[in-house]
Structure 1
Amino acid sequence: MSLPNHARVVIIGGGVIGCSVAYHLTKLGWKDVVLLERKQLTSGTTWHAAGLIGQLRSSSNMTKLAKYSADLYLGLEAETGVATGMRQCGSVSVALTDERKEELYRSAAMARAFGVPCEELSPAEVKERYQHINLDGVAGGIWLPTDGQADPANIALALVKGARQRGAVVKERTKVTGVVRDGRKVTGVNWVSDDGSDQGTIACDMIVNCAGMWGREVGKMAGVNVPLHACEHFYIVTEGISGLTQMPVLRVPDECAYYKEDAGKILLGAFEPNAKPWAMDGIPDTFEFDQLAEDFDHFEPILEAACNRMPMLAEAGIHTFFNGPESFTPDDAYHLGLAPEMDNVWVAAGFNSIGIQSAGGAGMALAQWMEDGQKPFDLGDVDISRMQPFQGNQHYLYERSKETLGLLYADHFPFRQKATARGVRRTPFHRHLLDQGAVMGETAGWERANWFARDDQAREYEYTWGRPNWFDNAAAEHNAVRENVGMYDMSSFGKIRVEGPDAEGFLNHVCGADMSVPVGKIVYTQFLNTRAGIEADVTVTRLSETAYLVVTPSGTRLADESWMRRHVGEARVMITDVTAGEGVLAVMGPNSRALLQRVSPADFSNDANPFGTAQEIELGMGLARAHRVSYVGELGWEIYISSDMAAHAFETIFEAGQDVGLTLCGMHMMDSCRIEKAFRHFGHDITCEDHVLEAGLGFAVKTDKPDFIGRDAVLAKKDEGLSQRLVQFKLTDPDHLLYHNEPLIRDGEIVGYLSSGGYGHHLGAAIGMGYVPCKGETVADVLASSYEIDVAGTRVKAEASLKPMYDPKSERVRA
């Protein structure tokens, strides 16, 4: 088969995800789709996958994609004639500790909210579902009847047959050797046949990097960052076991093991805590259906526990000891979407051992995104723009991948921090905070003080589903901000400078709020898409007639910068990331004004510096800029200091605060204060699929200004009325804890789930937020209902409010 000279899209990689993207693009009617595979289809990772099809994921949309995959695979044989081996045999997951049982029961509650059948099991019921298990130490479990297993290679071949039937060109033994670029666009792909006898270039409108464990290298060719690293992944297959019939998939995460019955044999796989990264020097060019060297010593602890858990294994012979590579990403979530560095390079790679169950949904979502030019629904969990540029560093990936493989089966405790590849990004205050007892967490590579330990307290997390070891510390920090004054480091938040003669007009096009404001004014606003969904949640400060500072969450800085770059058009502006150039100290609380007056001659009164304005100040012996805004709902300022003077500023404020009770605070305090004030958290409470009016943020949108992205959708929603509202909840029982995704029950029926949750130390109970359907209803109708939250199977009554339960009139921030 000869290759065309031009394609609308070239898909690089013929594993299950590349086949899925081709299938779904052609299903949408795309022509001129070309898929290139360096060796043979499925020969990288797909062919040796275990083929487990689980449907419950950690968020609603990831679950939606997994459910789509299962449904797709059930119908592929009828469409293509290729059997996928898809069987919904169900799955049992068991807990060997009370903490794991809490996790499983919370996931069962989450399943109810997401529409996935799931049942909590007692130990005896586990035995009924899986007769061969030894119940030693089993505390409980869950049963997911619609989970299953399938033949990975045949799924890929069925998908690619469907794509071919609709006109896709699929060429094996054709290696991509280079990508032709022109600025921010790819214009072609260079290829060579496996035997070197033929080569050429395909001009193309776009490419999709589906290269699996080669994804990082292919990304480099295309000028994009695709952070992933291959690790060794082990399983064994027994000899045939007499009388063994079809069984559910069994997962015993506390022993790092999963069990799958296949043709009268047992496949035992492992996600060990300390993984073995592979191919630091690159994947061999000859790699095709390759196995890696056995390492029985590495696998032996898993097998020993498994022989106890499944006594029949001790009697069965081992038919196959398999070791094959799979790719893992820094945060255990796959990479999907439009690469931030380029305007026509798409990515679907790094599937962290869940590629088979994810491929159908991921291919569908990406194809729809490519078709429409915008995400079909929130894909923030996997959007590749969440990855920071440094995370493509090979040494970083090697160190982090040792941990991420094992995290699939580790306890998924709330607030769990990564242990490897830490300390890469440090704020100017890092050492000062450590000296005062800071316990660090990590976000987007930034080391951030999450809480402060007492002198007699270990400076480490003790993970639990109950009240953690830092609960009282965070409460003290919270109360200091509410009652006196606290200071915390906000340096990691993204800072993007937008400047040029068209800066005002450009930002008025991108932002929902009005940017035609005086110099020194701070505006809270959102970037909206054409559906009025929220793409970013930011503050914008006007620094001069031609310059603005956009401040973003640390994890979305790159995504927000990319959004602006893609909407620049002909506007004469420069967009520059200046995050590392300034340190930021937030000084918050009713006594913050008095403290700042001690260290600066500036006037911090309401007349001179009202809420929502910034002023240049002298601070100690240096200079700074004081922004009067608050994410904790108190009087306060965010102090921006150039990095060279940041340490001096910290020391000056800290020393001045010693005799007025200044308390150093962490990110846990900030989160608990913001949820009391019902401030939205981007990525949880507000996403690209949440309408800005239904999120309760209509006050931040000015429809009387000239056209801006999303304006028509805002006006349409005003006419048609809201379909749902974001509501704040407070549990009536102060002992229960909320995190997020707990089912939301209205008048006895599940109507949704909490988008975020935390503990309100001032209000004295757990607080959550979640969307309540309200089509055709008044505010009074919404509040007249009775509400409960399902916490690990227990329904707990909750009070509901559409106004913030703390300081509903925002009198404190304006004091």
Structure 2
Amino acid sequence: MEQARVVVIGGGAVGVSVLYHLARKGWTDCVLLEKNELTAGSTWHAAGNCPTFGGGWGVMAMQRYSMRLYRELKDHPERPITYNVTGTLRLAHSKERMQEFERAAGMALAQGEPYELLSPAEAQDRYPFLETNDLEGVLWDAVDGDIDPASLTQALAGHARGMGAKVHRFRPATGVSRENGEWIVRTETGDIRCEYVVNAAGYYAQRVGDWFKPYGGRTVPMAVMSHQYLLTEEIPEIAAWTAETGRKLPMIRDVDSSYYLRQEKTGLNLGPYERNCRAHWVTPDDPMPDDFSFQLWADDLDRLEWYIEDAMARVPLLGTAGISKVINGPIPYTPDGLPLIGPMPGVPNAFEACVFTFGIAQAGGAGKLLADWIVEGRPEWDAWVFDPRRFTAHASDRDYTVAKAKEVYGHEYAMHFPRKHWPAGRGLKLSPVHDDLAARGAVWGCFNGWERALWFARPGDDTSLASTERWDRDGPWEARVREECLAVRDAVGVLDLCGFSRFRVAGPGVAAWLGAQITGAVPTVGRVGLGYFADDAGRIVAEMSIVRLAEEEFWLITAAAAQWHDREWIERTLPEALTLTDETAEWSTHLVTGPGSRALLGEIAEGFDPRRSWLSHQDVTIAGKAATLLRVSFAGELGWEIHSRVADTPAIWDALWAAGPGYGLRPFGMLALDSLRIEKGYRAWKQDLSTDYSVLAAGLGRFVRWDHDFLGRAALERERQQGTAKAFAALTVQAEGIDAPYMANVWSGDTLVGETTSGAYGHRTERSIALAMIRSDLALPGTALEVEIFGTRYPATVQNGAHYDPSNERQRA
């Protein structure tokens, strides 16, 4: 039997990039299997566009790495790649789109790839055939361009071979099995035994993923979309312009109309993302073939009519030439449009690098991230937006994945406003009191499939999806959010928090095991604590509430989105003598908080001891139903979380509301909670708490106990001795009507010194607040800085501790 360290299944641009980066790290005993010729899947018909632009920090970082790698490989003497760096004009039809561009420009600058914001006239200087009369402005990305997918793939494969890795073409994998802690990958010409397997099978990824179901795997969340682009015949004016200037025209992305338009030889390439899109291979009468290598679907240009006409109005030359070719090929989509890069959920030593919508632009960065993960055990930068574990069980439902894929494809260039929750695939996970919340005016948001109230509307409030399409805070929700925050401050608020990820861990020695996993102390029986889990570099991996139920029994409670991620982090070191039970679906939670919360619970909770201190828990009975009260409040007021079995939750909810009006009880939502927690400086997972920051840099040193050993201790000890480059700070920002988004730049004079991680208006303190990571020497109270919000710099001041109740007197009351 053949032996290898890693077997990569799939020979597209992503698969060969994984192989290349593994070899570059010294892991040359690796094999790539491709059922046909390299590039036979989506790679061969890909348009090959290569933007650095991304709507989020992680996407931009991955694509930035790709472009730098491609520029490095472009002129290699033995394996050059066809890479045209033309620049791109990204068109804005509205003020909101220009704000998006301004935010992206700030992120690009922070990552070393500066953009320019142009007037329509300046854009026309760079593209003389462009009509600009209705444009608000333009974003210029100088290093955007296009690449020949085949030359890229072959070059990466050649470099990998040159370092000792193997590429086997026309050798399809047919299945896997697991023996003695190793994988056996089946092929028609013999099996390969290996330590690690990578599913890089493109639009076959779901089929390959099914092989891993007997070993803990799930259905890969994806659907396959039909994407068409058309090529024109030669256009004499373009041929003349290129001959005169010696270069190609810049690419155009008309993101509000939803298409790209670029020069192809001396013609044009038009690629729309149409709303009336189509998914393939999702019904019994349209089954996925065993092999679709180097194949396309028939043209379906009727779907593109509006987009073609719009593009001809934007660049009239497009209408002067005939169509020479139409490409209609398969592109895989996940429910959020981002690829799967990282550990295969539930399966040991198996990884995914698949379901890429923009595989050419992202292949280089994806290969780097996955090689980091396999070799180093962690990616260089936080890759949660790509982590396969971000999708849990609901995302494998076919109807859900198809609905979300069509929604994402049809809005490929859409702006993702902070309070906009997209409507497809909703209502899958509901609170046991969902209907009552709806009757009280709940406006819903989706959190890992769970429906939670964002805010509570009154009759006449605009709750339309269109009302959320703005970057500022002054939408119809803001007055209600203020009312909710002040009710929490002055009376009592109740927040339904369905969907907490919850694990019960028990057995002999569980406390000692847990103590070795977290940076701080394990709480005693009857107490509640926060536990931070670090990786070997001291970076933040997870934050969990630790509830010690008994001497050898704990609840570990964490974010809804973290369910699969955190469960696997726990399981990786869990001794056989201990048991872990995932109780996420069995329990629900209400946060009852505010100065009247003690009296309210005293009236309805039998066995309630009002003298129990902050960070304690107790068992009570409410309306004849058992519940556990945790004296904690993410809102920063006196309060308790009520944890109850799902079946018992409606009765407890009804009891709260039967007594609540006498105490001024009011429901509040996630927008109010975000405002309240930011006033307290409380961090949110994968915003303020990510593997981009160490535990010490994030200002969590009080949760580190140096008298015990834990993962990451050595790295944190070095950091403690040397000092941190960045430090956490809470900022007061002098901005009206708008708050700092995630990853807004922080400036000291003309020097970029950090980034925000959260921002909101604090209604109790009546100020705009940002949580930030800034250069450590500037994280001193009173330091004057500036925060760049959508292109405008606003004065900011470093706060001395939390903005609201820094000594926690209200929580301890």
**Normalised-by-shorter TM-score class:** over 0.9
**Is 1:397 aligned with 2:393?**
no
Give the structure 1 partner of residue 204 of structure 2. Answer: 214
Per the TM alignment, residue 95 of structure 1 is displaced from its structure 2 partner at its CA by 0.8
Distance verdict in 2 for CA 1:78–1:129, change over 3 Å: closer
Give the structure 1 partner of residue 23 of structure 2. Answer: 26
Give the structure 2 partner of residue 642 of structure 1. Answer: 645
Per the TM alignment, residue 761 of structure 1 is displaced from its structure 2 partner at its CA by 2.0
**Is 1:145 aligned with 2:145?**
no
Matches within 5 A, 1:758-769: 758-769=760-771
**Is 1:157 aligned with 2:154?**
yes
Give the structure 2 partner of residue 408 of structure 1. Answer: 412
Match of 2:803 among 802, 805, 810: 805
Q: For 2:614 and 2:182, locate their aligned partners in 1 and report how far apart those are by CA, in whole Å.
A: 46
Q: For 2:122 and 2:756, locate their aligned partners in 1 and report how far apart those are by CA, in whole Å.
A: 29
| Cα distance per residue 1:413-441 (max 9 Å; x no partner) | 22221211111111212112112111111
| Cα distance per residue 1:218-270 (max 9 Å; x no partner) | 11102333311110011111111113131111111110111111211111111
Q: For 1:501 and 1:236, locate their aligned partners in 2 and report how far apart those are by CA, in whole Å.
A: 65
**Is 1:493 aligned with 2:500?**
yes
Aligned residue identity for 1:191: T
Q: For 1:734 and 1:484, locate their aligned partners in 2 and report how far apart those are by CA, in whole Å.
A: 28
Match of 1:542 among 537, 545, 548: 548
SS in 1 for 2:114: coil
SS in 1 for 2:292: coil
Per the TM alignment, residue 5 of structure 1 is displaced from its structure 2 partner at its CA by 1.3
Distance verdict in 2 for CA 1:102–1:374, change over 3 Å: closer
| Cα distance per residue 1:645-685 (max 9 Å; x no partner) | 11111111012112322111111111111111110111111
Match of 1:319 among 305, 319, 324: 324
Q: For 1:797 and 1:778, locate their aligned partners in 2 and report how far apart those are by CA, in whole Å.
A: 15
Matches within 5 A, 1:139-288: 139-182=136-179, 186-192=182-188, 199-223=189-213, 224-225=217-218, 226-244=220-238, 245=242, 246-281=248-283, 282-288=287-293
Match of 2:299 among 272, 294, 302: 294
Match of 2:697 among 691, 694, 697: 694
Equivalent residues of 1:501, 1:573 under 8 A apart:
yes
Per the TM alignment, residue 160 of structure 1 is displaced from its structure 2 partner at its CA by 0.5
| Cα distance per residue 1:501-533 (max 9 Å; x no partner) | 121112111112221x33221011111111111
Per the TM alignment, residue 176 of structure 1 is displaced from its structure 2 partner at its CA by 1.4
Give the structure 1 partner of residue 739 of structure 2. Answer: 737
Match of 2:713 among 675, 700, 711: 711
Aligned residue identity for 2:341: L
Give the alignment's TM-score, normalised by structure 1. Answer: 0.95
Equivalent residues of 2:10, 2:199 under 8 A apart:
yes
| Unaligned ranges ≥5, structure 1 | 193-198
| Cα distance per residue 1:37-93 (max 9 Å; x no partner) | 112211110111111111132344432321221121122244462332112211111
Matches within 5 A, 1:406-445: 406-445=410-449
Equivalent residues of 2:601, 2:608 under 8 A apart:
no
Q: For 1:20 and 1:612, locate their aligned partners in 2 and report how far apart those are by CA, in whole Å.
A: 49
Per the TM alignment, residue 114 of structure 1 is displaced from its structure 2 partner at its CA by 2.7
Q: Out of 290-299 and 553-562, give the one that drifted further.
A: 290-299
Distance verdict in 2 for CA 1:85–1:744, change over 3 Å: same
Aligned residue identity for 2:532: Q
Equivalent residues of 1:437, 1:459 under 8 A apart:
no
Match of 2:582 among 571, 577, 583: 577
SS in 2 for 1:21: helix
Give the structure 2 partner of residue 590 of structure 1. Answer: 595
Give the structure 1 partner of residue 752 of structure 2. Answer: 750
SS in 1 for 2:464: coil
Q: For 1:271 and 1:537, locate their aligned partners in 2 and report how far apart those are by CA, in whole Å.
A: 39
Give the structure 2 partner of residue 675 of structure 1. Answer: 678
Aligned residue identity for 2:230: I
| Cα distance per residue 1:148-172 (max 9 Å; x no partner) | 2111121111101111112222111
SS in 1 for 2:453: strand
Aligned residue identity for 1:242: P
Aligned residue identity for 2:222: L
SS in 2 for 1:587: strand
Equivalent residues of 1:60, 1:114 under 8 A apart:
no
**Is 1:62 aligned with 2:85?**
no
Equivalent residues of 1:599, 1:656 under 8 A apart:
yes
Equivalent residues of 2:258, 2:411 under 8 A apart:
no
Equivalent residues of 1:113, 1:742 under 8 A apart:
no
Match of 1:510 among 486, 502, 517: 517
Aligned residue identity for 1:103: E
Give the structure 2 partner of residue 196 of structure 1. Answer: none
| Cα distance per residue 1:317-349 (max 9 Å; x no partner) | 111122111001111221111123112101101
Give the structure 2 partner of residue 305 of structure 1. Answer: 310
Matches within 5 A, 1:98-137: 98-137=95-134
Q: For 2:52 and 2:608, locate their aligned partners in 1 and report how far apart those are by CA, in whole Å.
A: 58
| Cα distance per residue 1:356-397 (max 9 Å; x no partner) | 111101101211221112232211111112111221222221
**Aligned residues, how many?**
795
Per the TM alignment, residue 116 of structure 1 is displaced from its structure 2 partner at its CA by 1.7
Distance verdict in 2 for CA 1:157–1:269, change over 3 Å: same
Aligned residue identity for 1:358: Q
Give the structure 2 partner of residue 357 of structure 1. Answer: 361
Distance verdict in 2 for CA 1:687–1:662, change over 3 Å: same
| Cα distance per residue 1:608-660 (max 9 Å; x no partner) | x1110110001122211100011111110000011111111111101211232
Distance verdict in 2 for CA 1:660–1:813, change over 3 Å: same
SS in 2 for 1:53: coil
Match of 1:38 among 35, 43, 57: 35
Equivalent residues of 1:113, 1:744 under 8 A apart:
no
Distance verdict in 2 for CA 1:764–1:203, change over 3 Å: same
SS in 2 for 1:306: helix
Per the TM alignment, residue 604 of structure 1 is displaced from its structure 2 partner at its CA by 4.1
Q: For 1:664 and 1:783, locate their aligned partners in 2 and report how far apart those are by CA, in whole Å.
A: 35
Distance verdict in 2 for CA 1:575–1:298, change over 3 Å: same
Matches within 5 A, 1:65-76: 65-76=62-73
Per the TM alignment, residue 305 of structure 1 is displaced from its structure 2 partner at its CA by 1.0
Matches within 5 A, 1:379-394: 379-394=383-398
Equivalent residues of 2:277, 2:303 under 8 A apart:
no
Q: For 2:506 and 2:126, locate their aligned partners in 1 and report how far apart those are by CA, in whole Å.
A: 63
Matches within 5 A, 1:516-535: 517-535=523-541
Equivalent residues of 1:186, 1:207 under 8 A apart:
no
Q: For 1:651 and 1:561, locate their aligned partners in 2 and report how far apart those are by CA, in whole Å.
A: 33
SS in 1 for 2:85: coil
Q: For 2:367 and 2:279, locate their aligned partners in 1 and report how far apart those are by CA, in whole Å.
A: 27
Give the structure 1 partner of residue 656 of structure 2. Answer: 653
Equivalent residues of 1:230, 1:328 under 8 A apart:
yes
Match of 1:49 among 37, 46, 50: 46
| Cα distance per residue 1:180-210 (max 9 Å; x no partner) | 0249x55201112xxxxxx321111111110
Distance verdict in 2 for CA 1:80–1:35, change over 3 Å: farther
Match of 2:557 among 551, 558, 573: 551
Aligned residue identity for 2:99: E
**Is 1:448 aligned with 2:446?**
no
